Amino acid sequence: MNVIAAILIAVIVVAALVALGWWLFIETEGVYLGRRVVIWLYDLYAARYDRIKKFQRHYDHMFLAQPLMERIAPNESPRVLDVATGTGRLPLALIRHKRFRGQVIGLDLSRRMLDHAADKLADRRVQWVCAPAESLPFPTGTFDVVTCLEAIEFMTRRETALREMIRVLRPGGILLATNRIHARWMVGKTYKDDDLAALLQRLGMGQVEIESWQVDYDLVWGYKKQTTAPPAD
Ligand X SMILES: C[S@@+](CC[C@H](N)C(=O)[O-])C[C@H]1O[C@@H](n2cnc3c(N)ncnc32)[C@H](O)[C@@H]1O
* Binding residues for ligand X (CB under 6 A): 35, 38-39, 42, 84-86, 89, 108-110, 113, 132-134, 149-151, 154-155
For β-strands 126-130 and 103-108, DSSP reports them as parallel
For β-strands 217-224 and 205-212, DSSP reports them as antiparallel
Residues 49, 131 contacting (CB under 8 angstroms): no
CB-nearer residue toward ligand X: 85 or 190: 85
Burial class (CB in 10 A: 0-12, 13-18, 19+), 3: exposed
CB-nearer residue toward ligand X: 129 or 199: 129
CB-nearer residue toward ligand X: 108 or 144: 108
Quick count: other Cβ atoms within 10 Å of Cβ 33?
A: 15
CB-nearer residue toward ligand X: 144 or 156: 156
As measured in angstroms, the least distance from the Cβ of 89 to ligand X is 4
What's phi and psi for 112, nearest 5 deg? Answer: -70, -40
As measured in angstroms, the least distance from the Cβ of 62 to ligand X is 15
As measured in angstroms, the least distance from the Cβ of 147 to ligand X is 8
Can you tell me the distance from the alpha carbon of 87 to that of 213, in angstroms, rounded to the nearest whole number? 21
As measured in angstroms, the least distance from the Cβ of 155 to ligand X is 5
